[in-house]
Amino acid sequence: MPSVVLSAAAVPVCITTGAQTTTLSYSGATQTPTTYSIVWNASPANTFAAVTNVALPASPITIAIPSGTAAGTYTGTFTVRNANGCVSSPGQSFNLVVNPLPATPTIGTITLPTCAVPTGSVALSGLPAGGTLISYPGAVTRPYTGTTATVSGLAANTYTFTVNNGTCTSLVSSNAVVPGLVTNTYTTSWSNGTPTMDQNLVFAGDFSTSGNLNGCSCVVNTGVNVTVNSGHTLSIMNAVTNSGGVFTFENNASLLQTNNVTNTGNITYKRSSAPVRLYDYTYWSSPVKRTPAFTLNDLSPNTSATDYYRYDPNNGWIAINQGLTEMLPGIGYIVAVPESFDQDVPTNYPATFVGIPNNGTIPVTITTAEKWNLLGNPYPSAVYADQFIFNNSATLYGTLYFWTHNSAPANTDPNAPNRLYFDSNDYASYNLTGSVGTGSGTGAVNPGNQNPPLGYIAAGQGFFVKSKAAGTANFTNIMRVAANNAQFFKTTNNTNETNTAEIEKNRIWLNLSNVDGAFKQALIGYVTGATNGWDDNYDGTSFNGNEYVDFYSINETKKLTIQGRALPFTDTDVIPLGYKSTIAGEFSISIDRTDGIFNTQAIYLEDKLNGTIHDLKAANYTFTTAIGTFADRFAVLYANRSTLGNPDFENNLVDNVLVSVKDKVIKIAAPETISEVAVFDISGKLLFNKKKVEDTTVEITNAASNSQILLVKVILKNAETSTIKVRYQ
């Protein structure tokens, strides 16, 4: 009898609403079968049609699956017959599997694109545990785990989804619409309400700000006038495009951008200098770049041809004839005021920068270590000085110096024809400890700018900073801040810096001044992050830009206009002060202001010349000086030792460390093993140092040749440190 070798099962199929087919393979035919028959089992119930003596095709055989067939496993019996009427016996059984479809994905939360994240996402649920998602358009395969998934990175479009469980693919989900960002157009009003950071702004009509404005991108159409008024900030996350309008930023307005994108088209950025007189110079930096180049002459066309300068770290000031040099981003320049300015009455110089606004990372090459560099804020917004200092600490020291328009002394008092007023408008300084300002003293006719830097570098502002190493100093968008753009060294009502709870700051600002206007300020601060040694970001040396006086604290022989000290504060600390004067006569040392613990802590000034200790909280200290530099006359104390002979100097016991002096022999006794001993004079000069003492007593001979006050620093093996002041004789 005829026969074939039949596959055990037909090719599985997935359930569908319509009719479909599958195939059943066979091989090994014997005795030439010519027809075949299929009889379907009654269970499970089905509507399969029996096949009777149908011509046998070449393998495989096509099997029809009726519309509406439920998922399940169906069994048939297969026989063949030859031309002689012989039928295979017994018949062969086979299975036909109709698989169920996985559940259709359920659309959940649709997260819309924002300016910060310009793509959306769709949450899906009801998925088989493990499988593959397919999203449309594009038939993008997206593996997942579990029974839920979130499809992200979706650009604006309408999406559908299916899921495949490895056998069958689900039906198509409902639509998930991911919209694009809203375009908000201004004609005479905004088309989509008050602008937000997640909208693309288009100016199709003239506009003048009434406050701050936010947007994702910004386009100014041809022929449109847009003005950002003084004190207002236009914050744009992406690009700014001026397609042919007039885009003006008034003085103290800001353009703040987040992403490193390329801007297109010019803005007009106005900047007003501090009040200046004839012969004054202003330190400038350009917030724009232009083709043809924006030059120093464009900035101030009426300045004398010989009064434009840049600063070379190795060669000093370099004159730029006629100012015909491009103002490069991140570089500072100095420019004299126009010759039309008055010599006595200060006036603001209104600068106008025209060009494409600078944005993104602005690198500045630092060629040489330990040299002064004149840099400048390259953006049309303020820069947070702390962030600039932190980010460039490998290349730059952390103190920034801002010029405040020094003028020659002038007689301005008709009642005192022999009196000269000294306008001490030299370099204000800022670092992570704080800032010191400049001023003109109590008797100045034109007090000028007496404000310290507030921690922000204004747009258009040039400044000096010293290089630590050759490399690159970078300005980046992360340093940029909204507002805080008004201090181009101009008067403000608030000169106090923020003292946050996260960073403890306890500070004293001291002034040296006379009644004729000579003035210099120094800062001593006990702050988080500082040590009692030299700290690049917390200590700042005196720039000595003041022609008449200098005033500083002294540490490790360095003259510090700002000195950071370690926490916790101890009232046994002693801070030597130094000063320089080209003026003989009467001066005063006073407390300008305090913060932190120094609002209540006593502060004394020791005058070693006359052996007095003065309470600076009670009154200013007035003294007479000759011309010269004086490094060992004054010191700041925090405990009242009224004369050099009081018990503190006789007992010399601090933290159970005893120091005694007799016949110029210093003896030290401590309760714990001593690790190191150092002896300094009152200026901070190291006279003696011994490490690895490994004993509880030390004897020092010939520490100094002359009788004087010395500071003995004792470091115990347990790391406790004591500094004891002794009279060496």
Q: Give pLDDT tens digits for 167-201.
A: 999 999 999 999 999 999 999 999 999 999 999 99
pLDDT of residue 405: 59
Cα distances from 203 to residues 208, 247, 430, 600, 691, in angstroms, run 11, 10, 40, 55, 71
Q: How confident is the model at residue 426 (pLDDT cuts 50, 70, 90)?
A: low
Cα distances from 352 to residues 298, 327, 349, 546, 618, in angstroms, run 8, 13, 10, 30, 49
Between 424 and 70, whose confidence is greater?
70
Alpha-carbon span 547 to 529, nearest angstrom? 33
Cis, bond preceding 60 (omega within 30 deg of 0): yes
Say whether pLDDT at 493 is over 60.
no
Q: Is 204 exposed, middle or buried (0-12, 13-18, 19+ CB in 10 A)?
A: middle
* Residues linked to residue 691 through DSSP beta bridges, in sequence order: 676
Check if the beta carbon of residue 327 is closer than 8 Å to that of residue 299.
Answer: yes
The two beta strands, 540-541 and 549-555, are unpaired
Between 20 and 443, whose confidence is greater?
20
Cis, bond preceding 137 (omega within 30 deg of 0): yes
Q: Which are the contacts of 291, defined by CB distance < 8 A and separation ≥ 6?
A: none
Nearest alpha-carbon partner for 4 in 32, 25, 29, 36? 29
Q: Which two structure tokens, joined as six digits, stand for 316?
A: 């000093």
Alpha-carbon span 296 to 414, nearest angstrom? 39
Q: Residue 186: in which H helix or E strand, if any?
A: strand 182-186
Q: How confident is the model at residue 652 (pLDDT cuts 50, 70, 90)?
A: low
Alpha-carbon span 52 to 39, nearest angstrom? 8
Cα distances from 117 to residues 197, 202, 217, 262, 322, in angstroms, run 12, 20, 14, 18, 48
Q: How confident is the model at residue 664 (pLDDT cuts 50, 70, 90)?
A: confident
Q: Which two structure tokens, joined as six digits, stand for 87?
A: 């039928």
Q: How confident is the model at residue 446 (pLDDT cuts 50, 70, 90)?
A: very low
The mean pLDDT of the chain is 89
The two beta strands, 254-257 and 233-236, are parallel
* Chain position carrying tokens 């190291």: 686
Alpha-carbon span 704 to 223, nearest angstrom? 79
Check if the beta carbon of residue 547 is closer than 8 Å to that of residue 654.
Answer: no
* Residues linked to residue 150 through DSSP beta bridges, in sequence order: 123
* Chain position carrying tokens 């619409």: 177
Looking at the chain, the whole-number percentage of residues with pLDDT higher than 90 is 73
Backbone angles phi, psi at 550, to 5 degrees: -135, 150
Alpha-carbon span 354 to 723, nearest angstrom? 58
Q: What is the mean pLDDT of residues 370-375?
A: 96
Check if the beta carbon of residue 647 is closer than 8 Å to that of residue 712.
Answer: no
Say whether pLDDT at 496 is over 80.
no
* Residues linked to residue 462 through DSSP beta bridges, in sequence order: 376
Give the neighbor-by-neighbor strand order of the sheet with 333-336: 281-284, 333-336, 308-312, 316-319
Q: Give the predicted TM-score (pTM) of the model.
A: 0.74
Say whether pLDDT at 420 is over 70.
no
DSSP 172: P
Q: Is 688 exposed, middle or buried (0-12, 13-18, 19+ CB in 10 A)?
A: middle
The vertex-478 CA angle with 472 and 482, nearest 5°, equals 130
Check if the beta carbon of residue 471 is closer than 8 Å to that of residue 394.
Answer: yes
* Helix locations, 150-287, DSSP H: none
Alpha-carbon span 14 to 141, nearest angstrom? 20
The vertex-301 CA angle with 298 and 307, nearest 5°, equals 105
Looking at the chain, the whole-number percentage of residues with pLDDT higher than 70 is 90
Say whether pLDDT at 409 is over 60.
no
Say whether pLDDT at 445 is over 70.
no
Q: Which two structure tokens, joined as six digits, stand for 634?
A: 């004054």
The vertex-218 CA angle with 213 and 222, nearest 5°, equals 120
* Chain position carrying tokens 């198509």: 172
Q: Which two structure tokens, joined as six digits, stand for 144?
A: 């997942």
Taking only the tens place, the pLDDT of each residue in 3-53 is 999 999 999 999 998 999 999 999 999 999 999 999 999 888 899 999 999
pLDDT of residue 486: 62
Alpha-carbon span 280 to 262, nearest angstrom? 36
Q: Which two structure tokens, joined as six digits, stand for 176?
A: 């998930």
Which of 278-282, 444-448, 479-483, 528-532 is predicted least confidently? 444-448
Q: Highest mean pLDDT range out of 401-415, 634-648, 687-701?
A: 687-701
Positive or negative, the Cα torsion across 646, 651, 655, 660?
positive
Q: How confident is the model at residue 653 (pLDDT cuts 50, 70, 90)?
A: low
Q: Which residues of 119-130 are buried (b: 16+ CB within 10 A; e: fewer)?
A: ebbbbbebbbee
Cα distances from 39 to residues 69, 273, 443, 454, in angstroms, run 17, 101, 119, 94
pLDDT of residue 404: 72
Alpha-carbon span 419 to 268, nearest angstrom? 45
Q: Residue 387: in which H helix or E strand, if any?
A: helix 385-391
Q: Which two structure tokens, joined as six digits, stand for 138?
A: 């594009």
Cα distances from 314 to residues 138, 372, 402, 463, in angstroms, run 61, 8, 20, 17
**In the chain, how many H helices and how many E strands?**
3, 60
Longest dimension (CA), the chain: 146
Between 281 and 189, whose confidence is greater?
189
Alpha-carbon span 531 to 567, nearest angstrom? 8
Alpha-carbon span 551 to 581, nearest angstrom? 9
Nearest alpha-carbon partner for 348 in 447, 494, 489, 495? 489
Check if the beta carbon of residue 633 is closer than 8 Å to that of residue 608.
Answer: yes
Alpha-carbon span 214 to 198, nearest angstrom? 8
| Side chain identity at residue 381, one-letter code | S
Alpha-carbon span 724 to 59, nearest angstrom? 106
